[in-house]
Amino acid sequence: MRCIEPFASTATASWSARVRVPGSKSLSNRHLVLAALAHGESELRGVLHCADCDALVTALTQMGAKFETHGDVMRVKGVAGSPRATARIDLGDGGTPTRFMLAVAALAHDETVIDGSARMRQRPIDEGVDMLGSLGANARFCGDARALPVAMRGPLEGGAITVGVTASSQFISALMLVAPCTKHGIVITLDEVATSESYLHLSLAALAAAGVNAEVAYRPTLLSARTCGSGLARVSIAAQPMHGARIDIEPDASSAVYPAALALLLRGRIEIDGLALRSAQPDSWFFDDIALRGALVQQITRDDGSIATVVQWREELHALDAHYQRAPDSAVMAMVLAATASRASTFTGLSTLRVKESDRIESVAAGLRALGGVVETGSDWVRVHPLPATLTPACIDTANDHRIAMAFAILGCARAGVTLMNPEVVSKSWPEFFEVLDLLAREISRQIAAT
Residue numbers annotated as active site:
329
How many CA within 13 A on the CB side of residue 281? Answer: 27
d(CA 276, CA 255): 13
**Residue 312 CB neighbour total at 10 angstroms:** 18
d(CA 339, CA 344): 7
In 3D space, the residue among 157, 95, 99, 85 whose CA is nearest the CA of residue 127 turns out to be 99
CB of 331 within 8 A of CB of 324? yes
Q: Could you give the C-alpha distances from 430 to 20, 162, 409, 434, in angstroms and in order?
A: 12, 36, 13, 9
